[in-house]
Amino acid sequence: MSDQLTIEKEYQKFHEEVDLLKTLKHVSIVTYLGTCLEDNTLSIFMEFVPGGSISTIINCFGPLPEIVLCKYTKQILQGVAYLHDNCVVHRDIKGNNVMLMPNGIVKLTDFGCAGRLAWVSLRGTQSEMLNSVHATPYWMAPEVINESGYGRKSDTWSVDCTLFEMATGKLLLASMDRIAAMYYNGAHGG
């Protein structure tokens, strides 16, 4: 019985996260439709994005031509700006989480690490830091690695790493394994 209770509590967390994501309406953000828990299996329903990820395209065809790079970068930045305007940080922007529609529209997806910015009402100031380590090492900002907080600035770092990936066909610090790259970024500030 306690296992069932744990499953239902976890489902409630996912359901609340998807309810948040359902409120996001932007051309560059994948549309979330809802959740379903059946026989201890969680299903998350979202818009179908058939074009594959930026990473898949790069792996098949190499770095993106400049005109395509500019088009995709603009759309990614518009999507991230929309998220930030709505007090949401993605927390895991990377080529695998930027999907393509057949018409060339990009969609930010995989909001498993997304979080609302923490708002502090004292003295009318806001805190943009979420103090938890999320994201993928090659795209992680130094402040995330050093656990000094996560906010809009960290998403911008991840966008920059994704831009590098699209322009060169390689990951930033790809010559290092994941953990070494993470420590390097943390120690050297990127």
Q: How far apart are CA 52 and CA 32, in angstroms?
A: 17
| 88: in domain | yes
Residue 163 has pLDDT above 50, yes or no: yes
44-93 per-position pLDDT tens digit: 888 999 999 999 999 999 999 999 999 999 999 999 999 989 888 877 78
CATH of the domain at 84: 1.10.510.10
Rounded alpha-carbon distances, angstroms, from residue 82 to 25, 27, 39, 54, 107: 9, 10, 36, 20, 12
What does pLDDT average to over the chain? 75
- Position 138 scores a pLDDT of 54
Tokens encoding 190: 């990127």
Task: Work out the angle between the directed axes of helices 66-85 and 152-168 (0-180°, nearest 10).
Answer: 170
Q: Residues 139, 94: contact at Cβ < 8 Å?
A: yes
Distant-in-sequence, close-in-space partners of 184: CB < 8 Å, separation ≥ 6: 173, 176
Is 92 among the residues known to form the active site?
yes
Would 158 be classed as within a structural domain? yes
Residue 39 placed within a domain = no
Number of domains in the chain: 1
Q: Is 17 within a domain?
A: no
pLDDT tens-digit map of 135-153 = 455 556 555 554 556 677 7
Q: What is the pLDDT of residues 11-33, one digit of tens each?
A: 777 777 777 788 889 999 999 88
What is residue 140's predicted lDDT score, i.e. its pLDDT?
Answer: 62
Supply the range of the domain harboring residue 137. Answer: 49-188
- Cα separation of 132 and 114, whole Å? 11
* pLDDT score recorded for residue 120: 28
- Catalytic residue, chosen from 3, 92, 110, 160, is 92
Q: Note whether residue 19 is domain-resident.
A: no
pLDDT of residue 116: 42
Q: Is 160 contained in some domain?
A: yes
Pairing of strands 41-46, 98-100: unpaired
